[in-house]
Amino acid sequence: MLDIPAKVSESIQINHDTLQDIFHNCVDVVFRPLKLSDQSNILLVYIQELTDSSKLEQIISACMISRDVDRLTQYDTATNFSEIVAKVLKGSTAILLDGKPFAYLADIIAFNQRAINEPTNEASIRGPREGFTEDLKTNLSMIRRKISNSKLKFENHLAGELTNTSFVIAYIEDVVKLELLEEVRTRLQAYHTDQLLDSGYIEEFIEDKSFSLFPQIQNTERPDTVSSSLLAGRVAIIVDGSPNALLLPMTFWAGFQAAEDHYERFLYVSSVRLLRFLLAIMSCLLPSIYVALTTFHPQMIPLTLMLSISASREGIPFPTVIETLLMELMFEGLREAGLRLPKAIGSAVSIVGALVIGEAAVQAGFISAPIVMIVAGTGIASFAFPSYSLALPFRILRFPLLVLGGVLGLYGIAIGIIFIMIHLVTLKSFGMPYLRPVAPLGANFWKDTLIRINKRFVSAQGQGKQ
């Protein structure tokens, strides 16, 4: 282990050797020594790929004319090597002069980044088309453009001993609850790790119950969603290098709200939200209810329909619960394969695969035709979730409920639903009940949960309270 001094020396040769030892085998770090007209030495240390070359040449020209680097714009000074190394690795240029026990740090960062595009996972029919990128400053500027108020605060933090990743806590002063803000700061201060590459690293650490299937922190790529959440008193965490911002606290109902819900007329939005809730229940319970009714409670099915189901099951070698479980696993496998394959063939493989395998299995007599319809309907319902993270627990819970329905019938499904509801009622996100404002019941639970009321009515209520 090298014995590296903490402070910058007045000798440029000592500083050069020290930085050479620190950046040993770092071929991307450039050391550029220069000799000025008065025969004094100067050293520039930077990473070529992260530096604006035109601005760098301007700095070099200014240094060649005069040793007075103070004329440079946008610079900081550092007297210890740890700060110099951290800044250089982030793209700044370190300028060391002979006889000065500090370094100038010029902010001339320039690197290629992804253009601002619409998020593919949160596409909206109506509303803004911009989404976050991997650049922290760009993401903050998009939020600042929407909320042009000095009460919007961005607290900068650093995490990851090896990655030195910057992240920001965003909130609106006098709107956010101080208890929530302090709780967020406390949990983040306890976050110690060697690496922070995405907001998902923080999410798993600071959430209330890591072993819960249900997400307790919302993630989004949309600046308008973050802005509206901040205006509602929530806190956002934005990580450099990640296009996904974290919003907390999160309620169960937030996962059913799409980006355009506040841009469309309230009658349409309310109808669609009710449809989403119905489809969510369908995606979780449809296979298990079908298995329970056909296996244990056939008397609850109309006679004509039951005769049709029985006729289609003639010659099927598996019990209903087994063939449903096999088809569900096959459908999930095709969906996962479609996500991992290249986009040009991923959708084709998932769609064609489902059609071919389903048709071939029915023709071969391995499964019955009603099962194909049940599984297909369940799959379509699972795609109706605006939040991908909330769709995952419904997809997973479908399988234990299917087993309970195949073993105990409707009684087993009822037991499973009771356990799920107990978990949801006791679950909290940063002190807020997960099912709020439905459980515990709030006076304004109907305003923006199951339905969305007219903004004119909300505005009139707000004026009446003033």
**Three-state secondary structure call for residue 425:** helix
Quote the pTM value: 0.84
**CA distance linking residue 224 with residue 131, whole number of Å:** 9
Question: Going by DSSP bridges, is the β-strand pair 245-248/152-159 parallel, antiparallel, or unpaired?
Answer: unpaired
Span 49-58, average pLDDT: 84
pLDDT of residue 408: 94
Same domain? For 267 and 225 the reply is no
Same domain? For 56 and 152 the reply is no
pLDDT of residue 266: 87
Q: Residue 1: is its pLDDT beyond 70?
A: no
Instruction: Report the domain count for the chain.
Output: 3
In this structure, which amino acid lies at residue 207?
E
Q: What are phi and psi of 96, to 5 degrees?
A: -115, 135
Q: Which of 224, 250, 276 is the last residue of a domain?
A: 250
405-452 pLDDT tens trace: 999 999 999 999 999 999 999 999 998 999 988 888 766 666 677 778
First to last CA, the chain: 66
Domain with 163, as residue range(s), is 136-250
Same domain? For 216 and 280 the reply is no
Distance set, CA 243 to CA 113, 119, 133, 171, 239 (Å) = 12, 9, 5, 18, 8
Q: Which of 209, 227, 250 is the last residue of a domain?
A: 250
Between 314 and 184, name the one with better pLDDT. Answer: 184
344 — pLDDT class (breaks 50, 70, 90): low
* DSSP run (H or E) holding 169: strand 165-172
Q: Residue 464: is its pLDDT beyond 50?
A: no
Least confident of 110-119, 124-133, 222-231, 417-426: 110-119
Same domain? For 300 and 190 the reply is no
Same domain? For 194 and 321 the reply is no
The answer to the question of residue 239 being in a domain is yes
Same domain? For 81 and 142 the reply is no
Span 232-237, average pLDDT: 95
The answer to the question of residue 456 being in a domain is no
Show Cβ contacts of residue 219 under 8 Å, excluding neighbours closer than 6 positions. Answer: 199, 200, 203, 244, 245, 246, 247, 389
Tokens representing 125 are 């029919």
The answer to the question of residue 127 being in a domain is no
